[in-house]
A and B are shown apart, each in its own frame.
Chain A
Amino acid sequence: MATVQVSEAEKVYILHGIRDDLRVDGRGCEDYRHMEVETDVVSNTDGSAKVTLGHTAVLVGIKAEIGKPRPMIANQGYLEFFVDCSANATPEFEGRGGEELGTELSNTLYKVFNNQHSLDLKSLCISPGEHCWVLYVDVLLLQCDGNLYDAISVAIKAALFNTKIPKVHISSDEEGGKEIELSDDPYDCMRLDVENVPCIVTLCKIGHRHVVDATLQEKACSVASLIISVTHKGIITCSRKVGRGSLDPESICEMIEAGKRVGKALHPPLMKLLQQEESLGNKRQKVGFLG
């Protein structure tokens, strides 16, 4: 993980600030940094989104491909995650440096998103046991400035919202052989219901308190953090502790409560933004990567 060197004096400064609910950049403990979301940024994916959170920037692309359903769940499609920690983000990722982090991130994402509660996986099924849509979610880290999980989860939600899966229908002949037929209209496509897709909130334990959306400096002061995924109704679908230190049960409860609150508040503005963007249709001027 990208790290910064923080001296003892700086640590104390950060720690004391947080104790007084005043962080280095002026935020309160439960405030996010400035966030920007743009969808449909990569034209050759089926859905894509780019999210910047402070200086953290991630790009998510979703490719839908036809695959075979998992044997145990024949009537559902599934998601596959791959996180690419490019050396663009930080020199530490060079070579195979980012691999471990990538695996860790994708494992978490898999737990959070690939279940029937988050996404209607049944709608991805084309013909039970034979064909289903597999969504390959590729996450590319463009810049790391802390709080990757939250940024990635927002980007995934936005990209899922943006995903357009071509409509197919199965025609079968008398012999029982099945044939997938494709509509020739590129606008004839299926959208996913992202209402229940959770967002991840990372809470960093710093001193006796915890903060959301920790910067790298703050992260350096923390020994452990808690990751929870929260739906728009405030339901927690997944939680995980990361970091070497330990958390006492009391503060875990506190952190979960805080996480719920923050997470629940995160959804409505995000959805509003996405719908607004969608309604602009083709006329929207794309910002892309140069904006």
Chain B
Amino acid sequence: MLKSKTFVKKTRSGGVMKVVREHYLRDDIWCGSEVCTECKQDSAVLQRDACIESSLCPYPHYLVPDTNIVLRQIDVLEDPVIRNVIILQTVLQEVRHRSAPVYKRLKDIIHEQGRHFYTFTNEHHRETFIEREPGESANDRNDRAIRVAVKWYSQHLKTAESGSDGLKVVLLTNDQGNKLKAEENGLVVYKFDEYIKSLIGNPELVDCLALSNDDKNEVTSSKVLFPEHLPLSKVQAGIKSGSFLQGTFRASRDNYLEATVFVQGEGEDSTEVLIQGLQNLNRAVHQDVVAVQLLPKNQWVAPSSVVLQDDGAAKDDNVDEDEEEKTARRATGKVVGIIKRNWRPFCGMLNVSQIKESTRHLFTPADRHIPRIRIETRQASTLAGQRIMVAIDGWPKDSRYPNGHFVRSLGGAGEKDTEEEVLLLEHDVPHQAFSQAVLSFLPKMPWSITPEDMAQRQDLRHLTVCSVDPPGCTDIDDALHYRELENGKLEVGVHIADVSHFIRPGNALDKEAANRGTTVYLCGKRIDMVPELLSSNLCSLRSNVERFAFSCIWELNHKAEILKTRFTKSVINSKASLTYAEAQMRIDDASKNDDITKSLRGLNKLAKILKRKRIENGALTLSSLEVRFHMDSETHDPIDLQTKELVETNSMVEEFMLLANISVAQKIYDEFPESALLRKHPAPPPSNYDILIKAAKSKNVMIHTDSAKALADSLDVAKVDGFQYFNTLLRILATRCMMQAVYFCSGMDSDFHHYGLASPIYTHFTSPIRRYADIIVHRLLAVAIGADSTYPDLMDKHKQSTLCNNLNYRHKMSQYAQRASVAFHTQLFFKTRGILNEEGFVLFVRKNAIIVLIPKFGLEGTVFFDSKDKASPNLVFDEEIPGVSVPVPEAEPQAKKQKLDR
């Protein structure tokens, strides 16, 4: 049967269009119940004895939630207790339309076999399809559709012989009107919280209930704390007329009363608007898209340099404005409306309320950008000391904190697994095990190289190829060779694991890798981008096995100038996999004269020349502190810690990788000027260097930042006698001034320059096992040399550019996760150490705190001057001179201690 759906919509040009869609109704849609004998379904999803013990419904029953229940209470629905649920198509579509994340979660539940969730396509069922009636709103129609479907179900299941055992269908809705109408129709209907509270076996589910708008919060003081948000239509009109600005809200890490809103302007000119004070922040949460209104110029303020943690009451008002220099004032505004909330479940800890019987508690998120959240739970005593996940439900205007609900517990705080889970979740790192669909695209084991493979590839097995990597590395994606040619020239080859041979475009494996974007290295743990079979075995260029490689082979003269470049797919057989230290030892050990050692020496010599040339061109040598932990082999607890040491061989490998990356970048750009995936590093705006210049000035050193070259040179000469670490310290600071390097698609941008490497063009080619960008570059290069065929998405610059955005995001998050992991292990390390005395350096000075760096541990921390129990020492604050001498409180919460500065 054919029906048509008609609706009018506005076109982009402002016109009005009538759209008509055909809609087919069928009579072969089955109900999915085991009870039913009429429907000719192959396997029924809904069980015969659908028993959830409930005091309201003692009989077996199926649940039908309406859209709002699914949207708001998905956390409860995810609980394995809830089974035998019918999800109507109407609901599914509406959920999909309203919230993509909830939709995905719902789909996941539906796919779970043991949950018995059944999707009933009521919109296409002949008897449950309804047409919208005149004067009926879309929502009313959907509610009616749901009621009609429930009615149909209850009648359908009644007629099916089993009338006596009383299987019923229960509609769950929080909508009063809908409920009344359903009752009129003789349906069994309950409010969601009624139903959940009636569950006999599972009282803990009540905690997961999201607060609905209508149950007014008694605890909140009746006084209105925040101004009302403007309705969306007004906000949009305001943005159009320019009286409001739209931007992403970024809460300050250090001060809960301060935030910036990043307003994306046309092209390059984007501005930041400062927001100060609770009232002006107006319930915006980190990462929300908000509308801000600028305050009149005389109310503009400077960003405060106070570190403020939200301790609850009292300091609700604006930070006292004392002698602020007029110059530091910045555009200041207030939040007038929220355009899009960006709430996700947050990990953190519960602050158990002082009142024993209270069920309302505050929750402190791990992410300091996020305000505390008030939740209601009866399991406070069990949850105390655990890491839990909480979702925000809303933030009423008369409440100091947003209201939320408990989602799940991750485990005891301080336990390694729990903390690792927390930091993966907080950084949005996909870390589930690979799905069956993904694994199905792996090559079958035992895997071997076939003659066909050999025919398509150059046989380089005879070359003395070796790899140099950090100790314990199992995903070896690069290897090198070096030999002298008969014509007196030198040949150097960089061989990269041929991952794109195994990961074919568009399949589940490829999609998963593209989504993960990068492998994340945590301390003692690796979250792989591709399944282990590939990363540690088939792709990994291990020694003495035959592996596929993508080779980049140069002919160089003795001055390390490139004479010829050649790319080819090949088969190699690595002769040795060395660690940096081993390679260094071989080079230094004059008694060794085997092929491998000779190659290493040759490579090392060339690398030095290359490095010198690069530095002459203005490449920056920056520094950041990286620490390594020595792990206890059994408990996996850190037992010692050291900063990473660099040996010559590190930079040897690095030089050739850079060279390969640049050569490849040039090649793919020449071949595909519109769709090459490249990496750029924009020059930072001059203002970024302020902290660096200021810091250097304190020791009377001048830093020139006009160009990369000038910066590199002035960093080289910036030395203070008797303060050796000063130079490293400056380099650390310089690193922080830099912009993020990003992937981009050459067709979408015109500025390709890589500032840090001083290269006009750059890409990533050398680590396809752990970076997805490299896989794309491999594919592009393979097409360029005719070794592989292309596919449409590869040449689509818009698709490329979306991919780049994801890769950049994943890359950034993985770095944060890595840092967080190091920080956590540092904490673990200090847990057992007690008080230590170490040398530290003051990085920044704030009004009431200093930020201190301890190089030995690569640790950075905030030291407050005014501890709670002690009066603050008398200080003179002068931002110009980082390096005040003050006595520092002896006991720091983290049981580590600093001796200060010189």
Report which A residues bind B (CB closer than 8 A).
43-46, 63-66, 166, 168, 171, 173-175, 177, 179-180, 182, 184-187, 282
Contact = CB atoms under 8 A, between A and B. Distances in A.
B16 to A, nearest CB: 6
14 contacts: A46-B18, A65-B15, A66-B14, A173-B240, A177-B241, A179-B237, A182-B9, A182-B16, A184-B138, A185-B137, A186-B7, A186-B132, A187-B136, A282-B131
B15 A186 contact: no
A186 B241 contact: no
A220 B19 CA distance: 44
A182 B237 contact: no
Contacts of A186: 6-8, 132
B132 to A, nearest CB: 7
Contacts of B241: 173-175, 177
Contact of B10 (A44, A46, A180, A282): A180
B14 A180 contact: yes
B4 interface: yes
Interface in B1-39: 4, 6-10, 14-16, 18-20
A179 B16 CA distance: 12
A173 B16 contact: no
Contacts of A63: 18
B233 to A, nearest CB: 8
A223 to B, nearest CB: 45
Contact of A180 (B4, B16, B237): B16
A46 B8 CA distance: 10
B19 to A, nearest CB: 8
Q: Among the interface residues B8, B135, B138, which one has the most CB atoms of the partner chain A within 10 A?
A: B8
Given A177-B240, A179-B237, A180-B10, A66 B20 contact: no
Interface string B128-141: 00011111111000
A282 B4 CA distance: 12
Contacts of B138: 184-185
B15 A66 contact: yes
Contacts, number: 56
A166 B20 contact: no
Contacts of B14: 66, 180
Chain B, interface residues (CB within 8 Å), range: 20 to 34
B16 A43 contact: no
Contacts of B233: 171
Contacts of A166: 8, 16, 18
B134 A66 contact: no
Contact of B16 (A65, A171, A185): A65
B237 A173 contact: yes
Interface in B211-243: 233, 237-238, 240-241
Nearest to B138: A184
Contacts of B136: 185, 187
A219 to B, nearest CB: 38
Interface string B865-896: 00000000000000000000000000000000
A187 B135 contact: yes
Contacts of A174: 241
Contact of A182 (B8, B135, B240): B8
B721 to A, nearest CB: 64
A168 B16 CA distance: 9
A187 B134 CA distance: 5
Contact of B6 (A43, A64, A173): A43
B139 to A, nearest CB: 10
Q: Which 9 A-B pairs have the closest CB atoms?
A: A187-B134, A44-B20, A173-B237, A175-B241, A166-B8, A43-B20, A66-B15, A43-B4, A182-B10
B789 to A, nearest CB: 41
Contacts of A177: 240-241
Nearest to A187: B134
Contacts of B16: 64-66, 166, 168, 180, 182
Q: Among the interface residues A177, A179, A186, which one has the most CB atoms of the partner chain B within 10 A?
A: A186
Contacts of A44: 18-20
A63 B133 CA distance: 23
Contact of B135 (A64, A184, A185): A185
Contacts of A182: 8-10, 16
Contacts of B6: 43, 186
Contacts of B134: 185, 187
B237 A187 contact: no
A43 B5 CA distance: 9
A284 B728 CA distance: 85
Interface in B101-159: 131-138
B132 A187 contact: yes
A172 to B, nearest CB: 9
B145 to A, nearest CB: 16
A22 B238 CA distance: 74
A186 to B, nearest CB: 5
A126 to B, nearest CB: 10
Nearest to A173: B237
A174 B137 CA distance: 30
A37 to B, nearest CB: 22
Nearest to B6: A186
Contacts of B135: 185, 187
Contacts of B8: 166, 182, 186
A187 B137 CA distance: 10
A222 B890 CA distance: 117
Nearest to B22: A43
Nearest to A174: B241
Contacts of A66: 14-16
Contacts of A171: 233, 237
A263 to B, nearest CB: 33
Given A64-B16, A180-B14, 19 more contacts: A44-B18, A44-B19, A45-B18, A65-B15, A65-B16, A166-B8, A166-B18, A173-B238, A175-B241, A177-B240, A180-B16, A182-B8, A182-B16, A185-B134, A185-B135, A186-B7, A186-B132, A187-B135, A187-B136
Interface in B240-255: 240-241
A45 B291 CA distance: 40
B297 to A, nearest CB: 21
Contacts of A187: 132-136
A182 B240 CA distance: 19
A192 B464 CA distance: 87
Nearest to A65: B15
A283 B10 CA distance: 29
Contacts of B10: 180, 182
B765 to A, nearest CB: 50
A168 B14 CA distance: 12
A234 to B, nearest CB: 36
Contacts of B131: 282
Nearest to A46: B18
B137 to A, nearest CB: 7
B23 to A, nearest CB: 11
A40 B448 CA distance: 68
A184 B8 CA distance: 7
A253 B585 CA distance: 119
A186 B141 CA distance: 12
Interface string B602-645: 00000000000000000000000000000000000000000000
Nearest to A182: B10
Contacts of B132: 185-187
Contacts of A175: 241
Nearest to A282: B131
